[in-house]
Structure 1
Amino acid sequence: MRLTHLLVLTALFVGCSCQYTHGYFNWLARIMGYSRYYSNRYYGTEPEPPLATNCPAECTCPSIFPRAMYCDTRRLKYIPEVPARMKYVYLQSNQIDAVPDGVFDNATHLVWVVLHWNKISSDKIGANVFSKLTSLERMYLGHNNLTKIPFPLPKSLRELRVAGNKISTVQPNVLEGLDNLTKLLLNDNELEDIGGSLRVLKSLSYLDLSNNHLKKLPEVLPDSLHQLYLDFNHINSIPNEYFQQFPKLQYARISNNELTDNGIPLNTFNVSNLIELDLSHNKLQKIPPVNENLEHLYLHANKIKEFTVDSFCRTRGLISFSKIQVLRLDGNSIKQDNIPQEVNSCLRQARIINI
């Protein structure tokens, strides 16, 4: 086994107990730096990396990972000059309130820009400060004072985190051209309706819209979705065959909303691709029918009074049964002695059933 793999496995086992000065991102960078350096030295393909000679005084640039600049948690009110060699810049947990044009002009090959937990407002972001970063893959702008998603953004972007801001609308054109974006975090904002503004994200796999003010499900979303999080909103109904448009969707969370039986059409969740469905903390009085392929179903903290086996198994037999492994029905009005005997043949793969 190569030394790179050994170091990564060791990090996974001991990561929980280790403490590093600059937190998670520094830990990740250290692992990447050490493994890359020693692996290459072991095979004789790379000499010892040179010491960083042009690092800003406010930051740290470890020689073991010379393309990373750590400026996090230093009470900075501005972005220091970024050397041209840098690919990873960590500026989180400061007091930065602006990202002016030109601040990254020396380092246009940046791959990660980490700016979460600052005081950045939308009107203090330069018009083209991010679009010049043509290699940028991950941008972290969560927990600032943004009222809108920055525009324009580089087409290379794969992950965008703008959670914990004050964004109330997503303009129709702001995400156009981001064909490589796979992960978008818009949770903990002030969104009431996003319409069809996300339909242009052709590769989007992970979408978090939780903890907003949504009263209905987004009209149109990319059919590439794999994970969808809509918990802690005000959604009270689901359009007929809504989930049929997402053939790759496996994880859906709509907990802590205002869903009722009347707001869920009969076959809403009868889609074979879903593996996990969370409908907890709503106002359901019945168990909605689900597909036999579903493995995890969370219905706790509703108003359900009856355990209906037909919700899981339309037919029952040697080869016809539900694949449910975890079922939570606690916090409802179902009594243990009212559970029908057929549940044993229907939910024969269940490991956890909480009533």
Structure 2
Amino acid sequence: MCVVVVFLLSALLPLSCSHERDPFAWLYGPHSLRFGSLQADTTGGECPDECDCPPSFPVAMYCDGRGLTAMPTIPSRMKYLYLQNNAITAVPDSALVNATNLVWLMMHYNQLTSDAIGKKAFQQLNGLERLYLQHNNLTAFPSNLPRTLQDLRINHNKIEKVTPADLEGMDNLTILYLHDNAVTDMGTSLKALKSLTLLEISGNKLTKVPEALPEHLHQLYLEFNSIDSLPEGFLGQFTQLQYIRIAHNQLTDKGIPANTFNVTGLVELDLSFNKLERIPPVSTTLQHLYLQANQIKEFTLGSFCSVVDVTNFSKLRTLRLDGNEISRQDIPTESTRCLRLTSSIEV
């Protein structure tokens, strides 16, 4: 056995010396020795010097955090374009004419203004699904957004108004982040969003709940506005709504119609930091209820259970009542039968 090993080594060593290379280099050296090199794809144009276009993912272009102040040239093959965390100030009409295959366009954390976005800048992006424009300086919705959008994030801007024309025809939109703007009224602009499941419009200047909310909403966030009342039958139109947050508003008992929240399907309801004096009736299927920092003066067990027996009891697991005008002594002893799944009640 030893003789065979010595013979093999002696046969390989001269080969290594005479050709001045490792005979096993093909195992760990450049792939070109055996399979040919992995060439960069230049379909539709070269990758700009200021960006990265990985040969292993030739349809993606990474230009994020490069200190860019203007739009780079975009090869037509690109589907995923990352331009976030730059200082880009404008998107001219010509900036994306060669990028008609884009599926994702990430432009959050830039310095875009509404006047500097061309009216036709996004018009040719007929396959765009995600558009991220949050944390810019927009004062209005960009014109002619693609109707193929599924995920639009335009939060943390200075948008004051949303019109029906801004969202018309967006049948595929499922996620809309519009929070932390300066919107005062949305009219019926949301009516067209037939597929919308998540609507985040917290941190605006709304004084009422937007009209004609999409019926397939799953999550609705209205926090940090100035809403003082809710419309009659507010939640009756929804078939899939599970999470609703209306914290940090101006809601009073008078502004909430009877049994507004006594609807099945809700999982979480946040009414904290309002002006409620009573606990509103809720469905026995509700699991998380947040009422802290209101003006509640009485613990009304009937708000949770109208009948209590083996099969009828509240499914509530979280109940926060701290920051109100009640103490633990105000909670009746029989509440343990109704709220048998509640791990703790904070008062």
TM-score (norm 2): 0.86
Query: Can you list the C-alpha shifts for 1:162-195, whole angstroms capped at 9, x where unaligned?
Result: 1011111112211111100001111111111111
Letter in 2 for 1:84: S
Distance 1:110 1:346, change over 3 A: same
* 1:91 counterpart (83, 88, 94): 83
Task: Quote the offset at 1:153 in angstroms.
Answer: 1.4
Structure 2 residue 312 is matched with structure 1 residue 323: no
Unaligned runs of 5+ in 2: 1-35
**Equivalent residue letter for 1:332:** N
CA distance in 2, matches of 1:340, 1:52: 72
What corresponds to 1:17 in structure 2? none
Q: Give yes or no for the alignment of 1:342 onto 2:334.
A: yes
For residue 106 of structure 1, what is the aligned residue in structure 2? 98
Q: CA 1:48 to 1:67, structure 2 compared with 1: closer, same or farther past 3 Å?
A: farther
Residue of structure 2 in register with 1:60 after alignment: 52
Which residue in the other structure is 1:51 paired with? 40
| Residue in structure 2 matched with residue 141 of structure 1 by the alignment | 133
Cα separation, 2, equivalents of 1:341 and 1:134: 62
| Counterpart amino acid of residue 260 in structure 2 | T
Residue 65 of structure 1: CA displacement? 2.3
How far has the Cα of 1:310 moved from its partner?
0.5
Is 1:278 aligned to residue 270 of structure 2?
A: yes
Over the aligned positions, Cα root-mean-square deviation in angstroms equals 1.4
* Residue matched to 1:301: 293
**1:354, 1:64 → 2: CA distance?**
54
User: C-alpha separation between the residues in 2 aligned to 1:177 and 1:94?
Assistant: 31
Give 1:325 deviation, angstroms. 1.0
For the residue of structure 1 that corresponds to 2:186, the secondary structure is coil
Distance apart, 1:62 and its partner CA: 2.2
2:282 aligns with one of 274, 287, 290:
290
Q: Does the Cα contact within 8 Å between 1:49 and 1:66 map onto a contact in 2? A: no
Q: Secondary structure at the match of 1:191?
A: coil
Quote how far apart the aligned CAs of 1:63 are.
2.6
> CA separation in 1, counterparts of 2:244 and 2:344?
20
1:316/1:48 CA distance change after superposition, 3 Å: farther
Matching residue of 2:122: 130
Distance 1:64 1:280 in 2: 49
Give structure 1 stretches of 5+ with no counterpart. 1-46
Deviation of 1:48 (Å):
8.8
2:190/2:211 contact within 8 Å kept: no
In 2, the alpha carbon distance for the partners of 1:153 and 1:250 equals 29
- Residues 114 and 140, structure 1, Cα contact 8 Å, conserved in 2: yes
Equivalent residue, structure 1, for 2:225: 233
Larger radius of gyration: 2
* Cross-structure match for 1:262: 254
Are 1:311 and 2:303 counterparts? yes
Q: How does 1:160-239 map to 2 (within 5 A)?
A: 160-239=152-231
In the alignment, does 2:129 pair up with 1:119? no
